[in-house]
Structure 1
Amino acid sequence: MKRRAVVGAGAVLALAAVAVSSTEESAAADDAGTRPMPDFLDRGLWRVFTRLDRRTRLAVHDVGGRDRRVLWPPSWQVCTQYPAAGTDLDRRTTVTIGVVRKGETCPPRVRTARR
């Protein structure tokens, strides 16, 4: 499991449980190994970890301007995502997620419009 997100020790244990559920989702991928990118905007970061295939490379960044480390994913909400929702993901795609702590508003300069 290759994740680029910086997560705390407690979150690592929780990610092990996610690996089991993501195996079921990976079976839904077509023969080419692609799946559509889900829409994560305005959702909790935890949903990203539970919805993406465990083999997907993931980069998580604080876009609130404070360059904080993401230690507990359930405490963060998604402001930006790349690639956009509906784009086909394959095993070589790196998903980039911009987050702020729950309760904070997403900065307007990084706000991504829904398509």
Structure 2
Amino acid sequence: MRTHLTDLTDLTHFTRPTHLARALAGAALLLTLTACEAGGASDAEAPSGDRPPGRTASAPASDEPTAVDTAALPDMTGKGLQSAQDRAQAAGFHDLHSHDALGRGRVQALDRNWKVCGQVPAPGPHPVDARVDFASVKLDETCPGRDHGATPGGTATSMPDFTGKSVKVARQALDPSTNLTVNDASSADRMVLVESNWQVCEQDPAPGTELAGRPVTLRAVKYDESC
């Protein structure tokens, strides 16, 4: 019987601390979870001025347009095309273009061989990102009384009047899918190779006719010749 009591006392001796340790561990875990929840709630509810470091509120986007600088565009009339472009760039303009003022659709491949007849926009103050276009002719040519304009795009739905215009301009004004035939209006039956050097004398169909995919025929001569 004494041996049985001793064993029971020893069992009680080792069991009591075990229950106590488990109780203390559970209490510590409960305190930790409560502290984490309280910290998360405080961060979420804190006003923007009291946010912890590293958490910043995004600034609202501005709807105000960005100001564009302006500059004075000089008068380039009569100047060489290359000089006009250089002066425009020096003034702050960089979106520069040029076209054949005679309406022949020629490309200004060598700017030094061309001179300025007019410009858009006119001389004066303009935004520096404005598109500047110089109407030009070759140095040995006379500026026309009016600018015949840049080469139009292929948007014609009815037949334009191409009389006196270059074959190149006529081709570019028509839809790219148009079946276009160009013949020499003289008796020489020459091939029309450089289309900007040939002017239209006759056309079929007549101006104003609805195209709707119908073929077009032009008869032309060189610009130094009469129709």
TM-score, normalized by length of structure 2? Answer: 0.32
Higher RCO, Cα 8 Å, sep 6+ = 1
Greater fraction helix:
2
Provide the C-alpha distance between the structure 2 equivalents of 1:88 and 1:72, rounded to a whole number of angstroms. Answer: 28
- Which one of 157, 181, 188 corresponds to residue 66 of structure 1? 188
Which residue of 2 is the match for residue 78 of structure 1?
200
Residue in structure 1 matching 2:215, options 75, 91, 94: 94
Question: Partner letter of residue 49 of structure 1?
Answer: R
Task: Show the 5 A alignment for 1:1-115.
Answer: 21-22=153-154, 25=155, 35-91=157-213, 93-106=214-227
After TM superposition, give the deviation of residue 69 of structure 1 in Å: 0.4
Secondary structure of 2:168 counterpart: helix
Q: Deviations over 1:2-51 (max 9, x none)?
A: xxxxxxxxxxxxxxxx9xx43xx27xxxxxxxx21000011111111110
Greater C-alpha Rg: 2
What CA deviation, in whole Å up to 9, does each residue of 1:47-98 have, x standing for no partner? 111100000000100011100001110110000000000000011x110000
Unaligned runs of 5+ in 2: 1-150
Counterpart AA for 1:72: V
Deviation at 1:103, TM superposition (A): 1.1
Q: What secondary structure is seen at the aligned counterpart in 2 of 1:100?
A: strand
Q: Percent identity?
A: 38
The runs of 5 or more residues in structure 1 that have no matched partner are: 1-17, 27-34, 107-115
Describe the SS at the equivalent of 1:48.
helix
Q: State the distance in 2 between where 1:104 and 1:75 align.
A: 11
Q: Alpha carbon RMSD of aligned pairs, Å?
A: 1.5
Distance 1:70 1:80 in 2: 15
